[in-house]
Structure 1
Amino acid sequence: MRADAVRNRERIADIARKLFREKGFDAVSMDEVAKSAGVGVGTLYRHFPTKEALYDAAIQAWVETVTAAADTALAGDGTPRDRLLAWFESYVEFLTRHKGAAWRITSALGDEGSPFAAKCRTYLNANQRVIDALAGEGALRGDVDAMQLCRLVGGVAAVVDNSELEPAAANAMLAVVADGVLAG
């Protein structure tokens, strides 16, 4: 790909990321993205044939952020419970950054046709990293899986997101989840 085409693609993805963050996936049109990025609709569709492909590209930097947050939590000091809670708190923060995202993403888990499938896979992969690391230490129950963690922590995030609770109020609920998945 030519350098100017790469720059166009990156600019389009950056603009789309801002629009998706501000308005939500459903409220953003491909025409709006093209206009905001200062490119023709044909250029947009050449780089991103569907809105879902554009969304996936727009969240790629976010994928790296989520992965790094899981790694940071696991590398932290403290007990396995402390590290698990550090990850859960990061996860809730990610899910509650945009009003309404927590329930949308959590309810889309397992639905590959969802416009949020890429985000769901990112969270599933991050939770699997945490499970693998902590299970390797013998710290988790053997029947814990990534989908369960996504749904449990996502449920906590949805309660916080759709209520008058402060995000810090999730910590007590997350402690209950952590205690339920830890071994012994």
Structure 2
Amino acid sequence: MRADAVRNRERIADIARQLFREKGYDAVSMDEVAKTAGVGVGTLYRHFPTKEALYDAAIQAWVETVNAAADKALAGEGAPRERLLAWFEAYVEFLTRHKGAAWRITSAMGDDDSPFAAKCRTYLNANQRVVDTLAGEGALRGDVDAMQLCRLVGGVAAVVDNSELSADAARSMLAVVADGVLAA
């Protein structure tokens, strides 16, 4: 790809990321992204043939950020419960960065045909590392798996994203989830 095409693609993804964060996925149109990015609609569609492809590119930077957050939570000091809660809080924060993303991503978990499949795999893989680490320490119940964590914590994130709950209320729900998955 030519240097100017790469710059256009990156600018479009950056603008889309800002718009999705500010307005939510449903409220952003492809025309609005093109206009705000200062490119023609044809240029936008050449790089991103669908809104889902644009959304995926706009939040691709999350892959590294999500992995770093999981690693940070697992490497943190403290009991398994505190490390698990640190990860859960980071996970909810990621899912609620873009209005409407929490339920979209959580409901797409396990659907390889979803336009959000790459994001789902990123979160699933991060949760798998958390499960593997904490299970290896004997800290999790034996029947807990990464998909369950994605759906449970994603459910809390969806409630937070669609309500006026305080951070304290979210933390208390996450504590209930953590207590439910930790070994007795």
Could you state the TM-score of these two structures normalised by the residue count of structure 2?
Answer: 0.88
- How many angstroms does 1:27 deviate by? 2.3
- How many angstroms does 1:98 deviate by? 4.0
Q: Is the 8 A contact 2:23 2:99 kept in 1?
A: no
Aligned residues: 184
- How many angstroms does 1:95 deviate by? 2.5
Q: Which stretch has the larger CA shift, 33-42 or 66-75? A: 33-42
Partner of 2:22: 22
1:134-173 deviations in Å (ceiling 9; x for gaps): 1222221222111111111122223333344202222222
For 1:71, give the aligned amino acid: D
Partner of 1:175: 175
Q: Distance in 2 between matches of 1:47 and 1:164?
A: 36
Unmatched tracts of structure 2, length 5 or more: none
For 2:6, give the aligned amino acid: V
Cα distance change on mapping 1:33 and 1:84 into 2, 3 Å: same
Query: In structure 2, the residue corresponding to 1:60 is in which secondary structure?
Result: coil
Query: In structure 2, the residue corresponding to 1:139 is in which secondary structure?
Result: coil
- How many angstroms does 1:59 deviate by? 0.5
Partner of 1:32: 32
For 1:23, give the aligned amino acid: K
Partner of 1:3: 3
Could you state the TM-score of these two structures normalised by the residue count of structure 1?
Answer: 0.88
Note the 1:74-153 alignment, pairs <5 A. Answer: 74-153=74-153
Partner of 1:47: 47
Task: Determine what percentage of the aligned residue pairs are the same residue.
Answer: 89
Q: Which stretch has the larger CA shift, 145-154 or 161-170? A: 161-170
Unmatched tracts of structure 1, length 5 or more: none
Q: Distance in 1 between matches of 2:32 and 2:158?
A: 29
